[in-house]
Amino acid sequence: MALRLEDKKAIVAEVNEAVSSALSAVIADYRGLSVSDMTELRKKARADGVYLRVVRNTLARRAVEGTEFECLKDTLVGPTIIALSIEDPGSAARLIKDFAKEHDKLEVKALAVGGVAYGAHEIDRLAKLPTREQALGMLASVLQAPVTKLAQTLNEVPGKFVRVVAAVKDQKAA
């Protein structure tokens, strides 16, 4: 069924809005996936907070114009699915990577972060980025380490004094 001009404009506006607020993008070829596989992928994307859309390449090219993901225009060829990380930079990459492990027909074409396009082989780097909660936990542990060391050092001074006094007492008793 052919799309009317108004429908095309609405699709471009919707994708452009999502792309403008995205942290990273993954472009994949979904050729060979069944409808049930695509439905499963969409469910996982909704659960992970990933914007997932199958869109015509010409409309996708127009949607990414003027955004930091304009570098992906050349990869928009053939059947394309766009996965955008809205909250966590690595969520789209983790979703596509994990789904591609189970379904070998899903092929990553490219990905982009911060206006720089990367090849499909770089998906592991993006997928291994920590989530927001993990990053905050790591930051908290780094901030807590000096305080812990200071407390241990201050606690060691009286402990050492007590050990010295006990050693002198034992020496005089002997």
CATH assignment of the domain containing 30: 3.30.70.1730
Residues 65-78 have pLDDT tens digits of 888 888 888 888 88
Residues 159 and 173 in one domain: yes
Residues 97 and 138 in one domain: no
Residues 150 and 111 in one domain: no
Residues 29 and 76 in one domain: yes
Three-state DSSP state, 170 = helix
Residues 54 and 135 in one domain: no
173: containing domain? 130-174
Residues 87 and 148 in one domain: no
Average pLDDT over residues 16-26: 87
Overall number of domains in the chain: 2
CA-CA-CA-CA torsion sign (124, 89, 73, 36): positive
Predicted TM-score (pTM) above 0.75: no
Residues 122 and 137 in one domain: no
Average predicted confidence (pLDDT) for the chain: 84
Residues 14 and 75 in one domain: yes
Share of the chain above pLDDT 90, in %: 9
Residues 89-106 have pLDDT tens digits of 888 888 988 888 888 888
Cα separation, 69 vs 126, whole angstroms: 15
Residues 138 and 164 in one domain: yes
Q: At what angle do helices 91-102 and 35-48 cross, to 10 degrees?
A: 150
Residues 153 and 91 in one domain: no
Residues 72 and 116 in one domain: yes
Give exposure, 111-128, as e/b (b: 16+ Cβ within 10 Å): bbbeeebbebeebeebbe
| Radius of gyration for the chain, computed over Cα atoms and rounded to the nearest angstrom | 27
pLDDT band, residue 115 (cuts 50/70/90): confident
End-to-end alpha carbon distance in the chain: 101
DSSP 8-state code for residue 129: S
Residues 96 and 139 in one domain: no
Interacting residues of 127 by C-beta distance below 8 A, sequence separation 6+: 90, 93, 94, 97
Please report, to the nearest 10 degrees, the dihedral formed by the alpha carbons of residues 56, 24, 114, 70 taken in order. Answer: 0
Question: In this model, does residue 141 exceed pLDDT 90?
Answer: no
Average pLDDT over residues 125-149: 77
Q: What is the pLDDT of residue 82?
A: 92
Question: In this model, does residue 163 exceed pLDDT 90?
Answer: no
What tokens does 72 get?
Answer: 């992906």
Q: Please count the residues of the chain.
A: 174
What tokens does 31 get?
Answer: 């050729």
Q: What is the pLDDT of residue 1?
A: 58
